[in-house]
Amino acid sequence: MTNRKLNHQMEVTQSDKPGHAWEIGRIALAVVFAVVAATAAHAQPAPMDMSWAIRSQQQAWNVGQANAQATAMAYYQYMQRLRAAGYTGPSLPTGVTNESLQRSINAANQAGQAYNRAQFDNAQRRFNTATDYDMRAIRGCTPYVDQYGRRFYAGC
């Protein structure tokens, strides 16, 4: 090979180089991806602030305590006025007895248990729905019930 042919083979012509516009486009694309990645990294969702629930519960408790104290104070002041006016009999009944207090506590307990049971039943329904879909639609199983009433899947 002659020197002239070797030089010609090693020369890079303008048509062999990437165009200037193409280089700018690649740089611009890289910058766009970098900006999007940086934005996505900074756009993480903040932890959920549940302090409002605690404040709400504390406020409701405070209102209940204030109402109970105001009611007790009103009764106490009424009895003081009666005594100052010469009443010597027993304290007037308040309507609060051991039985009424026990009924109130039982009702609150039953309401709490009913709420918990409703939440459990709802969770079971959601779980059973997801499980049934998975077993029947995805895995192709056939449901059946045994002699004891238990539900199973066959043909998986």
Give me the helices (H) in the chain, please: 3-10, 20-42, 51-84, 98-133
- Angle at CA of residue 133, ends 132 and 138, nearest 5°: 120
Which residues are CB-neighbours of 92 under 8 A, at least 6 positions away? 78, 79, 82
| Angle, vertex CA 63, rays to CA 59 and CA 65, nearest 5 | 115
| End-to-end Cα distance, the chain | 73
The pTM is what? 0.42
Encoding tokens for residue 21? 């516009």
Provide CB contacts within 8 A for 78, sequence distance 6+. Answer: 92
Contact assessment for residue 140 and residue 155, using Cβ atoms and an 8 Å cutoff: yes
Per-residue pLDDT of the chain (156 residues; tens, 9 = 90+): 555 555 545 555 555 555 556 677 677 777 777 766 666 556 666 678 888 999 999 999 999 999 999 999 999 999 999 999 999 888 888 888 889 999 999 999 999 999 999 999 999 999 888 888 888 888 888 888 999 989 888 888
